[in-house]
Amino acid sequence: MDPRLIDYSKEIKKLIITVACTGGMQGKEVNPNLPISPDEQAQTAYDCYNAGASIMHLHVRDKEGQATADINIYGEVVSKIKAKCKIITQVGNGIGIKNFMKDDPYQFGLKERIDLVNIVPKPDMFTINAGTIDTWNIVYFENPIQFNKDFLQKAKEKGVVDIECEVYNLAQVPNVFHLRDTGYLSEPLHINFVHGLEGGAMPPTPESLISFIRSMPEGTSWQTMAIGRYQIPMITLAMAMGGNVRIGFEDNVYYSKGVLSKSNAQMVEKVVRIAKELGREVATAEEARQILKLH
């Protein structure tokens, strides 16, 4: 794709806002407003939906607030969200890191991760990760191509064919094309360009974003995320260039410099205000389903 700014004389694409409300790493110790329990997550999804978000990216937690591979909790959260609103549910297949920031961090393994295809009720989307990285230089986050193929095959058998690829760096781009060319992914590709996660992701610079955009074929639906204080500048660039965005406590727990976010919805509201200044309407969940050509 050619990285260009919005040309309003032609078309302004509606903005799809994804919220990663919890993540599988940090907990309430970094921000007490981070939603942990299924009820908190469902309420968060509903509040974000009302504020303008159309996709809820999910990692769930156990009773101790730790990341968990328990598909019953996943099922409970998906079910509770679906009972409240039409937001698109998207489960991240990395699950997360148990004992994050402790002496014995544990990245959930491939067997536990592949079991996510058995979540009932099934989520609308899964994400896969296009390659292996060393998350925060703490633990290896393994994503071998054969694992991704197995995951996609099993997800398809369970009826989940809408997949977002998290791409952390340019070396992972050929992996995405390989999955497409071997029939495991179909176009339009849904790509999330990840910036600022140390240990494997591209740095949060405009050059990174532009290189990512240039690496993808025409017609790709793309969004951008960046970690921490780079979140707002990077997603603002993406919005001005017609891309979609992901925000939320998984990626950043601050609202502005030195100020913790009160809620995920508060961040959605900020994104909606910036979008409005740029003349971009915000897609409803129903519109997002059409734009992304979800099945």
Partner 1 sequence: MEVKYYLDYVASESEKLIITVAPAGGMHGKEVNPNLPLSAKEFGDAAYDCYNAGASVIHIHPRDKEGKSTSSLEAHMDYIDAVRNRCNAITQVGNGIGIKDFDKNVTGRSSFYTLEERMNLVNLNPPPDMLTINGGTFQPHGIIIMENSPQFNTEFVKRAKGKGIKGIECEIYDLSHIHNVLDLRENGILTDPIHYDFVFGMGGGMPPSPEYLIYCIRVVPQPCTWQAACVGKFQTYVMTVAMALGGNVRVGFEDNVHYTKGELAKTNAQMVERMVRIARELGREVATPDEAREILKLG
Residues that bind partner 1 (CB under 8 A): 3-9, 203-207, 210, 229-230, 232-234, 236-237, 239-241, 256-257, 270, 273-274, 277-279
Residue 264 token pair: 């995920």
Q: How far is the CB of 13 from partner 1 (least distance, A)?
A: 13
Q: How far is the CB of 54 from partner 1 (least distance, A)?
A: 20
Say how far apart CA 47 and CA 43 lie, in whole Å.
6
Pick the closer one to partner 1 by CB: 156 or 273: 273
Residue 286 token pair: 């129903």
Pick the closer one to partner 1 by CB: 151 or 168: 168
Q: How far is the CB of 220 from partner 1 (least distance, A)?
A: 17
Pick the closer one to partner 1 by CB: 41 or 208: 208
Pick the closer one to partner 1 by CB: 31 or 205: 205
Q: How far is the CB of 3 from partner 1 (least distance, A)?
A: 6
Q: How far is the CB of 211 from partner 1 (least distance, A)?
A: 10
Q: Work out whether strand 133-135 and strand 125-129 pair parallel, antiparallel, or are unpaired.
A: unpaired
In sequence order, the β-bridge partners of residue 245 are 17, 224
Helix (H, G, I), strand (E, B) or coil at 185: coil
Say how far apart CA 65 and CA 20 lie, in whole Å.
16
Pick the closer one to partner 1 by CB: 41 or 169: 169
Residue 179 token pair: 């999955």
Number of C-alpha atoms within 13 angstroms, CB side, residue 92? Answer: 28
Q: How far is the CB of 264 from partner 1 (least distance, A)?
A: 17
Asked if residue 119 lies in contact with residue 78, where contact means CB atoms within 8 angstroms, the answer is yes
Say how far apart CA 197 and CA 134 lie, in whole Å.
9
Q: State the maximum Cα–Cα separation within the chain, in Å, rounded to a whole number.
A: 55
Asked if residue 145 lies in contact with residue 185, where contact means CB atoms within 8 angstroms, the answer is no
Pick the closer one to partner 1 by CB: 237 or 292: 237
Return the C-alpha torsion angle 243, 125, 132, 204, nearest 10: 20
Q: How far is the CB of 143 from partner 1 (least distance, A)?
A: 25
Pick the closer one to partner 1 by CB: 58 or 226: 226
Scanning the chain, the segments in alpha helix (DSSP H) are: 38-51, 71-84, 110-114, 145-157, 173-181, 206-215, 231-240, 264-277, 285-291
Pick the closer one to partner 1 by CB: 203 or 217: 203
Q: How far is the CB of 12 from partner 1 (least distance, A)?
A: 8
Q: What angle do CA 250, 59, 140 make, to 5 degrees?
A: 75
Asked if residue 287 lies in contact with residue 52, where contact means CB atoms within 8 angstroms, the answer is no
